[in-house]
């Protein structure tokens, strides 16, 4: 009976200590972007609006999406892309977003030297995307996606993002200078694009030509990643500094050892801000002792 009660207390305490948080990752200088697209519309990721149907695949390698170490239950919730508007038009597109964790850090090349698209992965968002560019002429704007189905991300894998835009009619496109996304620098070849006035990227993916990406099919194969902001939620268990999934007296002892010795091996810093301020102090230990003894 005592064993059962001890287990119940630990489990209940773990549940009350757990909370969900939101954080962001920038790829490129998202808040102060400077490099605009300048070249063929084949090379515009995540989209261009010059043709009726576009698609893009972008590989965000683990070295680009760092800072999530020691965080559990990570789910990608938001994808934002910066662009500059020089249009007075309203643009309407039907959009689909697919996410996938992959081991690859590059696009594969077949025996004929042709780069290969990936299968799309998991559909996480779809709907009509309206852009009233008259309201934002001459300004930086955002293509923003809030995912209906947050994507479980496993740290250490590359994140493959596939975005498909389809006009409601094949003549619904803008002039060539009306829209320009911001790009990163020095991250060449991590994106590929598809463009067509007749066939959606989704339909192309079901054709005999897929996964080949060639210029004759309207594909850009050596594209820079766009400036991107990725929003993700994660779970942390306040006080679980030894990372065993429960909060108990062992965490108090481990925390005190850390403060006295400075030895951080095995210390889950993400869970160490027990009193919810921005520093690790003896005050966190005091709060942790209250949690263990009182349970809140």
**Residue 118 DSSP code:** P
Which residue, chain included where needed, has tokens 């010059």? 50
Query: Cis (ω within 30 of 0) for the bond into 264?
Result: no
Q: How far apart are CA 4 and CA 13, in angstroms?
A: 14
Query: What kind and span of H or E run contains 204?
Result: helix 201-205
How far apart (Å, rounded) are the C-alpha atoms in residues 89 and 135?
Answer: 9
Report residue 86 as tokens.
Answer: 């020089």
Q: List all residues 6 or more positions away from 271 whose beta carbon is below 8 Å from its beta carbon.
A: 236, 237, 238, 239, 240, 241, 243
| Paired sense of beta strands 228-237 and 18-27, if any | antiparallel
Q: Spell out the per-residue pLDDT of the chain, length 296, in tens.
A: 333 333 333 333 443 456 678 889 999 999 999 999 877 878 899 998 888 999 999 999 999 998 776 677 889 999 999 999 887 778 889 999 999 999 999 999 999 999 999 999 999 999 998 887 777 888 898 999 999 989 999 989 999 999 999 998 776 666 555 778 999 988 889 999 999 989 999 999 999 999 999 988 899 999 999 999 999 998 777 888 888 778 889 989 999 999 998 888 888 887 888 877 778 889 888 888 888 887 66
Q: What is the distance of C-alpha 171 from the center of its chain?
A: 32
Degrees (nearest 5) of the Cα angle 143, 145, 146? 150
Closest CA to 269 of 238, 223, 232: 238
Looking at the whole model, is its pTM more than 0.85?
A: no
Beta bridge partners of 111: none
């Amino acid at each position: 009976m005592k064993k059962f009660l001890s287990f119940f207390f630990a489990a209940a305490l773990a549940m009350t200590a757990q909370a969900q948080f939101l954080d962001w990752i920038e790829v490129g200088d998202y808040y102060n972007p400077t490099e605009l697209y300048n070249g063929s519309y084949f090379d515009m990721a995540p989209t261009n609006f010059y043709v009726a149907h576009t698609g893009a695949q972008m590989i965000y390698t683990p070295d680009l999406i760092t800072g999530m170490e020691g965080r559990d239950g990570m789910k990608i919730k938001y994808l934002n892309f910066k662009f500059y508007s020089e249009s007075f038009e309203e643009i309407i597109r039907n959009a689909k977003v697919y996410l996938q964790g992959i081991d690859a850090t590059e696009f594969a090349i077949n025996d004929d030297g042709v780069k290969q698209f990936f299968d799309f992965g998991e559909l996480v968002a779809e709907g009509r995307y309206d852009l009233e560019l008259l309201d934002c002429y001459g300004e930086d704007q955002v293509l923003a996606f809030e995912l209906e189905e947050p994507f479980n991300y496993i740290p250490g894998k590359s994140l493959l993002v596939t975005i498909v835009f389809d006009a409601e009619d094949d003549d619904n496109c803008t002039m060539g200078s009306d829209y320009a996304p911001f790009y990163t620098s020095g991250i060449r070849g991590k994106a590929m694009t598809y463009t067509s006035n007749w066939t959606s990227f989704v339909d192309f993916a079901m054709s005999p030509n897929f996964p080949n990406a060639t210029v004759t099919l309207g594909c850009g194969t050596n594209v820079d990643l766009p400036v991107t902001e990725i929003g993700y939620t994660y779970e942390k268990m306040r006080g679980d500094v030894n990372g065993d999934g429960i909060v108990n007296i062992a965490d108090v002892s481990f925390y005190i050892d850390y403060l006295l010795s400075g030895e951080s091996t095995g210390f889950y810093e993400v869970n160490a801000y027990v009193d919810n301020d921005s520093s690790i102090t003896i005050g966190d230990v005091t709060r942790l002792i209250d949690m263990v003894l009182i349970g809140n």
